[in-house]
Amino acid sequence: MSRFDTLLQSIARTTVLCVGDLMLDEFVYGEVSRISPEAPTPVIAVQRSEINVGGAGNVARNIAAIGARCIFVGLIGGDEAGRTLSAEIARESRIEPLLVCDPARPTTRKVRFVSEHFSTHMLRADWETASAASSEIEQRLLDAILPQLQRADIVLLSDYAKGVLTERVIASVIEAARKLGKRVIVDPKSANFAIYRGATLLTPNRKEFVSATRSAAETVDDIAAAAQDAMALADCEAMLVTQSEHGMTLVPRVGEPIHVPAMPVKVRDVSGAGDTVAAVLAVVLAAGADWATAMRAASAAAAVAVSKNGTAVVTPAELRRKILPHASLAAEEKIIGSEAELDLRLAEWRREGLRVGFTNGCFDILHPGHVKVLTAARGACDRLIVGLNSDASVRRLKGESRPVQNERARAEVLAALEAVDLVAIFGEDTPLKLIKRIVPSVLVKGGDYTREQVVGHEIVAARGGEVLLVDVLPGFSTTSLVEKAREGTT
């Protein structure tokens, strides 16, 4: 078992108490092709919309998505947005919601209008009351939070300055957590870090850090120097400054700063990336990992999150694929078990702008000829999917004496090759159905075929793709190898 798998097992046993400002995030997607005749503003032709649990609720969703349990305390109004949020959170099996309702204030709601074609945010409309919760609501929040501290492995305060995390709530929670020996992570909004005094870790972004410390924060040394004064003020053990494409820097009270560069990724939407970082830091630290491990996991999770539209969550499988070198993935993780799983991988790769290639065959006994084709195929793309004939398909094509190895064995051998990114088993005589689903940018076959003989060539060509024929190695074929083995020759 890998260290990553061991970490995931530990994460599954952790519970995070998350407290913060809950929001309803709505995204309205459409195309912009004209300017309004009524005013010089673009007109968006709405095509679809979606809702997400946002703010601290997105932190809770990320905690649950990565495999931990989350006790979530937040505030809603007595309105439709509040009822929608309650219903959405109730669907999350790993989240235990303890929502306090304040009929005197609206549920925080943000509607973003997004150009589908350019993935550009055009406008955001907000419904909110950002004032601090009343003393009565403060007490109700504390009555919900404090009894849960004993159950939690770590506490995460997600401050969006919408009124939940008042100075009284923050101080009471941190004091009670420290008495129980519980670490507290704060994703801060206030420039006055002193209100978070006693927390274990503060995770400001660069803009928040600059505002709070009045420093340039242009280099790791700048951040380290300014963070020492800020940590003394906040009496915290460490400070993590996130810097978008420039990575993240952790400065401990004792020891050297740790900097983790950002992972290269095609950014689609940065909404909620900070939520993902805070959530992953919390669960990985709660699982017993050190600062560096937690930072690397958080950096990888952020890279996954910003490659998606909207306020997105990160799954263990996505995190695994981002953290581990691709060749280190276990063979079974490369073998696709369903069409839905294939679609998920394809969507992920295309969000990252990766070029997908495809080749296929029976691969009954893997030989150098196969390896040459697979290596050449992988060299022509960023990710290679291999279509593998099922046992029944091989029998129809090759006769009842074939295959020599069953489909699972053949799939595992292929998946063990570094050149292969996914193996998809198909039951038809040809991979046409699979090719239609994948629509690869590159379709590869051995040079013993002509372009017109390659199944699916017209589908790939119609989408501007490439058909690549690789010269075969003479003297190698599975059929001849099988015949030699049966004759007892070498």
DSSP conformation letters of 72-136: EEEEE-SSHHHHHHHHHHHT-TTEEEEEEE-TTSPPEEEEEEEETTTTEEEEEEEE---SPPPHH
pLDDT-flagged residues of the chain (< 70): 1-2, 118-119, 269, 271, 310, 324-332, 473-490
Contacts of 229 (CB under 8 A, 6+ apart): 213
Q: Is 208 annotated as a binding residue?
A: yes
Is residue 79 a contact partner of residue 106, using CB atoms and an 8 Å limit? yes
Is residue 423 a contact partner of residue 415, using CB atoms and an 8 Å limit? yes
Look up 275 and say whether it is catalytic. yes
pLDDT at 185 (0 to 100): 98
Contacts of 353 (CB under 8 A, 6+ apart): 266
Out of 3.40.47.10, 3.20.20.140, 3.40.1190.20, 1.20.1600.10, the CATH code matching 3-324 is 3.40.1190.20
DSSP-based three-state secondary structure for 348: helix
Contacts of 240 (CB under 8 A, 6+ apart): 201, 202, 203, 204, 248, 249, 250, 251, 281, 295
Q: Please state, in angstroms and as integers, the Cα–Cα distance from residue 298 to each residue in 15, 73, 152, following that order.
A: 18, 23, 20
Q: Which two tokens stand for residue 149?
A: 């501290």
Identity (one letter) of the amino acid at 429?
D
pLDDT at 188 (0 to 100): 96
pLDDT at 271 (0 to 100): 67
Fold classification of 328-487 is Rossmann fold (3.40.50)
Q: Which H or E element spans position 261? A: none
Burial of 164 (0-12, 13-18, 19+ CB in 10 A): buried
Active-site option among 275, 364, 448, 471: 275
Q: Is 445 annotated as a binding residue?
A: no
258 bridge partner residues: 250
Distance CA 143, CA 173 (A): 11
CB atoms within 10 A of CB 382: 15
Sorted by where each begins, the domain ranges of the chain are 3-324, 328-487
Q: Which two tokens stand for residue 159?
A: 């401050």
